[in-house]
Structure 1
Amino acid sequence: APGAGRLCEEVPQARIVACDVADREALKALLDEHRPSAVIHAAGVLDDATVANLTEAQLDAVLRAKAVAAQHLHELTDGISTFVLFSSASGVFGSAGQANYAAANAYLDALARRRRAQNLPAQSLAWGLWETGSAMTAALDTTKAYQGVLPMSDRQALALFDAALRTEQPALVTATLDLRPRTDPSPLLRTLLPPNRRTAGGDAPDRTAAMRARLAGRDADGQLSGLLDLVRAQTAQVLGHASLSTVGAGRPFKDLGFDSLTAIELRNRLRAVTDLRLPATLVFDHPTPAALAEHLRAELFGAGARPSIVDHLAQLENAMAVATGGSVDGLDAGLREDITVRLKALTAMWGDLQRGDDGTDIGERLETASDDEIFQFIDSKFGDS
């Protein structure tokens, strides 16, 4: 690892040995040769996914590095004075999209408590976010808070480590917490707030009611436009963009850089704003901002009248994004040609409507043409297919 050579130079008695600690026999051989007086287990692997999408391989990779290795160290060491497990705050607070990682760290916390109940040395430290980057946090912006946990410097982290070793508690949260008022505070963090700040998000229902009232006064297109701006703005904040202009309405979330963690964060933000019960798979079920805005409108105001043309165009954008995955390379050439012809015909039809074939003013024609008339025209051109 980077810095390993310098460590050996500064600490001559240091030895660096490669061993798969999750391999019980390999670890036993290592411990038979080197009899440690202390153990600090700091390994970890990330392989994020929501619960419904976790695979056996993802569970195995994460649990093996954390839980299996820790259990082997517990079974194969004796006579030691210190037994420290590097856990994570994700096992205490829960972490969106990291079910396997949270479970692995919760196991470490339980193992420490079990050892202490057996009068064995043990501490599990549930670390928060360190400012110093690592392979595990390379994809995170370590300057911002995550789920109520603020990044901390190496100096702060090492001070917490020293303080933890002076206590008798088997499981501690070693993290810098964000206790500022939040619209969606963790229930665990909310109990730590002073009484006059525990209801910081208490006006959220009022804001939600105001938003609904504001949108309810608009027609379907106005509602969709307002919700699309909301989705784009929240998406930009999740991705750390300064403006929603970087978030295209028809661009798939996966192309914008979304993963399971950011998908859950967007879901949580929209849930706080709308007070809707939204699934963890929200972004995957509605893969573009336009499709998601349409879904929110339906949830907030019901299906109501027949969807507008804009709604159907959003559905078309959604269908194209899902079917192509952002590329037409996988589509049959004949199918691509058929789609192209149909889209060109639809565009030509819209041009005819705007020109006004009967000589009427375009504004007058649009005012008098109903959705049903336009849909009937589309059906006559394209049929039921």
Structure 2
Amino acid sequence: FEGDVYLLDDTGQVLVEAKGLRLQRSESMEQLTATNELNELQEWLYTLQWEPWQSLISKQAMAQAGTWLIFTDSSGVGQELTDLITRQEGARKEGMRKGVVNNAPTCITVSPGYMYQAVGANRYRINPASPDDMRRLFTDALNGDTATLAGVIHLWSLDVTPVQKTSVASLEADQILGAGSALNLIQELLSVKQGPRLWLVTRGAQAVTSASSASVEVAQSPLWGLGRTCAIEHPELWGGLIDVDAQSDASTTASQLFAILAQQAREDQIAIRDGQSYVARMVRSQEWTPKALSAGNDATYLITGGLWGLGLEVAQWLARKGARHLVLLGRSTLPERTQWDSTQVGSRQAQQIAGLRQLEAAGVHVHYAPVDVANEADMTALIENLPQQGFPAIKGIVHAASVWQNARGESLVHPLVNLNLSSLQDVFRPKVAGAWLLHSLFAEKPLDFFVSFSSGASLFGSAAQGNYAAAGAFLDALAHSMRASGQPALSIDWGAISETGFGATAEGQRVHEYWESHGIGRIPPRQVLAALELLLPQQIAQVGVLRLDWQQLQQFYPQLTQLPLVSHLVDSIATPQTDEQTVQQTSSILQSFFGTGIDRAERQRRLESYLSERVAAVLRVPEEKLDREQPLTALGLDSLMAIELKNRIERELEVHISIVAFLQGPSIRQFAAQLLEQLPVTAVQSSVDAIDAIQETQKNDMPIDQQRAQQLLTQLDNLSDADVEALLGTMLQQENGEANEHNEQQEDGNGHQTSTGSAKQISKQDATQLLAQLDQLSDEDVEALLSQITQEGD
């Protein structure tokens, strides 16, 4: 830079004058800035890896007692699984003699059809697209008694079109059978007071090993994005995702599923390949070495969503990298060029026209086409006509098409409870069907790159992002499949991108501000382009680019940070509350509501104060400014905040809260009254008494004998899962907490110290399995359980 510089005082008198001053950026400073930005960017990169888990063979495997609802496939896996679950009465009796307790479960099977039909005893057929059919199923099959539901298994995705026969039309139909029916199922389960665990099953939908990546069943993959969102929004009903081996027969697959369900392990994202089970783990990506990247001036680059938001940013970036031929696709229709100067200043059209002119001024040959990227006829015609317009062969594709509003201008960003099939299809068409069509049209053509813009929600799950997470999971699976077949595909799971596209809208800014205050930082376009420059030349199929503060995430989203998926990422930060600390916190809160001498009116008042404090924290407003008579929605509670508030109250009070209750907008006073009905005095006081008994025993460092344990177990019906875990933890604790590391020292008859093995203890895994069965135990079963817990030696 060169110019004249004048420094003036307050009166305007010249103090210093410098003419012809030249300023030049130091190359070392530019290098330092670039290095710092690269180091920062490396901290935002994440990849998904699959780690070997454990054997799926269990001689004593038993499913939890109760009713299992199984959405069966046509390949026989569901029927085989049904037979395994219901064939347990004889095994139960044999197990009792070995100290393993269980009751025989029953199964209700559901298959897809065109209309609702009861086809036999405990056998139903429903329309996958019909929420009414799903609702009727729960009414008829369970007779309104959902408390007996032990688990729900969704296998319908196993029947979608295999990848070799996939088309745009089949994808649209398959999403109704897969993600669409699963969404209806989740919404119905949310109406159940004590929801059972939901398991979603796919076959060959994940790129687990290099051998399995070449034939990923991409049409099944959206279920994984939807499931991960369910884990975040509704941890109370979440069981997990299982991707079975496409090479296994129905009997083997059913046995493996049965073993996983019977183990009742904490893992919730599991895959099976060649008899080996794997679990999903998110890790920080390796540090990538920057490579030179340039765009050819003799090639054409196609960008979907290319005239708005991030797509236009990428087009301008490619022009700066040397691209001279760009084809931009979008949904907007622009006026004739002769009318460009007449467009309203500041309008979306005016900004799009300005973007085109800027590219043309840089010497780029640009063709813009308002075309549906999922319309095969239109896309084929467009590509075939490009050479006639002077465009060389297409060498690179950036699939950035997205939509966040429907045709009526309504937002498509909703929690699962408010999503519908139309909301899924609106998001799926440009992303899922569009990506598949582009892949099909260029499968036999040499490309330098094929980049899909996916979402970080597909990796981690995200509240109110279920449709985007599902669509992104498809893009991720497609990239793995393409890369395995030799095509240079890359799916980037972006975090919250600011300043452009959705991030530049009023709704986007509100959502992103909320996320940023909860640990999900925004990424400006400049750093998006830096990430593209780093990642595009690398040999990788999928990478997440997200600015995440794990300390904040642990505070606001414990349902995420407690998932096994992120265990490698949270090891280095503060340990979350232990079960005992959680129990103590719950006990303290409940005692404040139900202490001695507190009448119902005072409980109501204290519950209102408790809720006011929690609502104020979520809304980030002073508590005294809240009107307890106003609906929560009128106070500013949106769907994201409602999910956060729901999960926090459920953790602290050990109650089940329907998200619908929040979104219907009760006042704080009304909601306190509803909660009061869920916390009857006798049940809460029994729970508090049991917790106090556990804590008193721990304080006095006294072991629990069998008589005392039996007294405590009489209160099990009133205990939460966390309370029961604390009880078992006490029963299983070993002297000074070191019995696993040291042998007991005892004196023999001569006064010498001798070493003896510590008493045989039940394993944590066995305890976890038994805990899941406690509600189903008879008195005899309780005795067997106590016997197993307290046994010593052989």
Length-normalised TM-score, structure 2: 0.36
Tell me the alpha carbon deviations over residues 54-99 of structure 1, each in whole angstroms, 9 at most, x when there is no partner: 3232121111121111111111123211111111111111122332
- 1:338 aligns with none
Cα deviation digits, residues 148-196 of structure 1 (max 9, x gap): 5222333333333333224322111111111116244312344302356
Residues 71 and 245 of structure 1: CA distance in aligned 2, closer, same or farther (over 3 Å): farther
Q: How does 1:157-196 map to 2 (within 5 A)?
A: 157-180=528-551, 182-183=554-555, 184-185=557-558, 186=560, 187=563, 188-195=565-572
Whole-angstrom distance in 2 between the partners of 1:152 and 1:17:
29
Please tell me whether Structure 1 or Structure 2 has the larger radius of gyration of its CA atoms. 2
Aligned pairs (5 A) from 1:133-144: 133-135=503-505, 137-142=508-513, 144=515
* 227-236 or 54-63: bigger deviation: 227-236
**2:590 alignment counterpart:** 212
| Counterpart residue number, 2:618 | 238
Which segment is superposed worse, 292-301 or 122-131? 292-301
Q: Which residue of 2 aligns with 1:318?
A: none
Distance 1:120 1:302 in 2: 64
Structure 2 counterpart of 1:92, from 446, 450, 459:
459
Q: Is the 8 A contact 1:131 1:143 kept in 2?
A: no
* Alignment partner, residue 81 of structure 1: 448
Displacement of 1:7 in angstroms is: 3.6
C-alpha separation in 1, matches of 2:492 and 2:535:
8
**How far apart, CA to CA, are the structure 2 residues paired with 1:89 and 1:236?**
29
Look up the SS of the partner of 2:492 in the other structure.
strand
- Specify the SS of the correspondent of 2:633: helix
Match of 1:274 among 653, 657, 660: 653
Please list the CA deviations of residues 330-378 of structure 1 after superposition, one character each: whole Å capped at 9, or x if unmatched. xxxxxxxxxxxxxxxxxxxxxxxxxxxxxxxxxxxxxxxxxxxxxxxxx
The one of 471, 480, 505 aligned to 1:113: 480
Give how far 1:43 is off: 1.7
- CA offsets, 1:237-265, max 9 Å, x none? 333x4213343222223333444333222
Percent pairwise identity: 28
Larger strand percent? 2
Map Cα deviations across residues 247-298 of structure 1 (whole Å, 9 max, x no partner): 3222223333444333222212322333433333231366222222222233
Q: Secondary structure at the match of 2:493?
A: strand
- Runs of 4+ residues over 6 Å off in structure 1: none
Q: Which amino acid aligns with 1:210?
A: S
2:784 corresponds to: none
Name the one with the larger helix percent.
1
2:516 alignment partner, SS class = coil
Distance 2:460 2:578 in 1: 18
Q: Which has the higher contact order (CA 8 A, sep 6+)?
A: 2
Relative distance call for 1:137 and 1:178 in structure 2 (3 A) is: same
Among 573, 576, 589, the alignment partner of 1:199 is 576
Q: Who is 1:332 aligned against? A: none
Aligned in 2, Cα 1:303/1:169: closer, same or farther, shift over 3 Å? Answer: farther
* Residue of structure 1 in register with 2:609 after alignment: 229
Measured in 1, the distance between the counterparts of 2:403 and 2:672 equals: 35
Which of 22, 25, 31 is the aligned partner of 2:383? 31
The residue type equivalent to 2:423 in the other structure is: Q
Distance 1:172 1:147 in 2: 22
**Residue 103 (1) aligns with residue 470 (2):** yes
| Pair 1:13 & 2:343 matched | no
Match of residue 355 from structure 2 = 4
Unpaired runs of at least 5, structure 2: 1-307, 309-350, 387-392, 405-411, 685-794
* Residue 196 to residue 59, structure 1, CA distance change in 2 (3 Å): closer
Q: State the partner residue of 1:45.
A: 403
Residues 181-232 of structure 1: per-residue CA shift (max 9 Å, x gap) = 6244312344302356243676444323222222222432232223223323
Alignment equivalent of 2:520, drawn from 138, 149, 158: 149
SS in 2 for 1:296: helix
Q: Is the 8 A contact 1:286 1:292 kept in 2?
A: no
TM-superposed CA distance for 1:303, in Å, is 8.2
Distance 1:249 1:64 in 2: 43
Q: Distance in 1 between matches of 2:489 and 2:517?
A: 28
Alignment-mate amino acid for residue 12 of structure 1: G
CA RMSD of aligned residues (A): 2.8
| Number of residue pairs matched by the alignment | 304
